[in-house]
Amino acid sequence: MKKQVSKMNDKELDDFLKKLSSSPEIPYVPQDWGKMEKILAKNKGAIHLNGYKWILLGSILMVGILFTTWLIATFSHFREEENRISTIISSSAKIGRGITPNNEINTHDLEFPLDELSGNHKAQTTEINAESLSQNHQYIPGPKAHQKVEKAQVPILVGITHPKRKIFEAFNHIGPIDKNFKIQNQALVQFNTQPSVNQHNKIAIGLLVSPDFSAIQYDQIPASGRNLGISLEYFLSERWSLASGVIHAQKTYRHGEGYWGGYSRAHQGLEGDCWILEVPLNIRYYPMQGKKDKWFVSSGLSSYFMMKEKYSLYYQNYNGNPYSREVEIKGNNQHVFGILNIGLGYERKVSEKFALQAEPYYRLPLVGIGEGNLNLKSAGIFFGIKYYL
Amino acid sequence: MEKYLSTKILNGISKGDRKCQESLYKQFYSYGMSICLRYAANREESLEILHDGYLNVFQHFDRYDSQRPFTQWFRRILINGAINYYNKNLKHSQNIGLEHIAEIPDLGKNVADDLKYMDMIQIIQALPIRYRTVFNLYAIEGYNHQEIADLLGISEGTSKSNLHRARQKLRSMLTVGNHEEASIKNE
């Protein structure tokens, strides 16, 4: 039984149209696939940007340099210790060999590497002095500068059998006899127990804040975003450090005409806001260091973890009327080591542990950022306070 | 129509193989187009929604659960695309009217079988976008008013009102368009 449309109730009308719309055979149009291919060509996932391959090669090189620096920093410590010991030994031996009766002792020959002596050497020196005194031998105070003194044979120290100490034997055999002889009750070598202002701390933590200027093209910089974060810096040596941290960034940017987001028609304009967790990994070099000041250059790679992206896309429809499309994406785009960092900074110590720093930075993406694969560049100045542990 | 994807297609799409993408596009073109045509005002805009949907399929294929019918996932994507289309055209949509119904190209094949479908599409496309979207979501897709209100960001009352007016318009257009002969089997 058939029923006229005008006499159908609501449900019958709905069912009629639903049945009519089910599984129709719409002929395939090959040209439509051609249009789809063009869209696919423009949306190949994360687009590589800004000389990606060269920068990747550079990054590998940087990691190599970093590793080498670490190796040097680690093993140079042991070498320095060895050098110090051998310097002391050779200086002492030289003194011993060079002194003969009636010769003149010049204090220049007695120049120990005083500044470099560490606690261990101090202990060694002190031990020898103590033994000298305890055995009631004449203790010979150090000669005075450019002073001619009489020399005399000194009895060999008893009980010095250790091979390392034999080098002192010759020195102990002779020595000047000062008329004002007295027991030296202070160490001849002065050790500086006060820490230097720019002492070498291994780790520093910091708080950072910065305005952020992001743009896809340099002539389209809107109102600034901001960065807030914490940093952790590990010093590989006095001049090299590895810096990382977590930065919560809010970036605002806009763009003119372009293609975005799957619609085959280009947009007339774009406004974007995104909230990002940024994890930088930078290597820093401090080429200039004063008593309170430091200058550094910094470079490395950042990872962007996009927490939220909000876009307004402005189009024109077929009649030429403008319309907009709002897009909000949450947690959909991550770019691990996809951004190159370059920075130049100044740091000033305000106390033994605290320092203030300012670091202008530039972020250059190596892959397309966010849902729209945007070439989103950022710049700003990090202001921070740093605490040396 | 096969609702599931073959292993070859599944693997190929995952690897971004263009041939497999084309096979999938071809296989579900008719299915996808039949949905998009109902939501858009003309064929070109339907194609936009369809291509947006396919792009999502290809870019986020890892989210597809191959244990479930592909058509189910694809349909959901296309309806989301249609809602985006609704949002972007809402402010500037016009009531086209029957006299301005855009011609759908007669592509020759199975014309006799598709004729009534194409008539229906022309009539639905002539509806204002508010009515068209609500009618499609309620009558064809089976959403209730609360769900439609959430999807479109309108009140439940507005959804009901738009549906009522959509039906009125449809009846009117079917009568004016001399579609009185359209009938259903009322068994």
A358 membership: H or E segment, kind and range: strand A354-365
Among A101-110, A195-204, A373-382, top mean pLDDT goes to A373-382
Q: In this complex, is the C-beta atom of A34 within 8 Å of any C-beta atom belonging to chain B?
A: no
Q: In this complex, is the C-beta atom of B17 within 8 Å of any C-beta atom belonging to chain A?
A: no
Q: Are strands A240-255 and A293-316 parallel, antiparallel or unpaired?
A: unpaired
Please report the sign of the dihedral spanned by the C-alpha atoms of residue B122, residue B124, residue B130, residue B136.
negative
Binding-face residues of B in 164-183 toward A, CB within 8 A: 167, 170-171, 174-175, 179-180, 182-183
Instruction: Write out chain B residues lying below 8 Å of A8, CB-based.
Output: 171, 184
- Percentages (nearest 5) of helix, strand, coil residues in chain A: 30, 40, 35
Instruction: Write out chain B residues lying below 8 Å of A16, CB-based.
Output: 182-184
Q: Which residue has the higher pLDDT, B1 or A303?
A: A303
Among candidate residues A123, A118, A127, the one with its CA nearest the CA of residue A81: A118
Question: What integer is the mean pLDDT of B176-187?
Answer: 41
pLDDT value for B181: 43
Which residue among A23, A29, A43 places its CB closest to the CB of B59? A43
Q: In this complex, is the C-beta atom of A25 within 8 Å of any C-beta atom belonging to chain B?
A: yes
Q: B140 and A21 in contact by Cβ < 8 A? A: yes
pLDDT category of residue A145 using cuts at 50, 70 and 90: very low
Compute the distance between CA of residue A256 and CA of residue A251 in angstroms, rounded to an integer.
17
Instruction: Write out chain B residues lying below 8 Å of A315, CB-based.
Output: 88
Compute the distance between CA of residue A264 and CA of residue B46 in angstroms, rounded to an integer.
12
The answer on pLDDT for A99 being more than 50 is no
Burial of A251 (0-12, 13-18, 19+ CB in 10 A): buried
pLDDT category of residue B184 using cuts at 50, 70 and 90: very low
Q: pTM higher than 0.90 for the full model?
A: no
Q: B38 and A45 in contact by Cβ < 8 A? A: no
pLDDT value for A264: 43
ipTM for the predicted complex comes to 0.82
pLDDT category of residue A132 using cuts at 50, 70 and 90: very low
Q: In this complex, is the C-beta atom of B88 within 8 Å of any C-beta atom belonging to chain A?
A: yes
Q: In this complex, is the C-beta atom of A322 within 8 Å of any C-beta atom belonging to chain B?
A: yes
Closest B-chain CA to A318 = B45
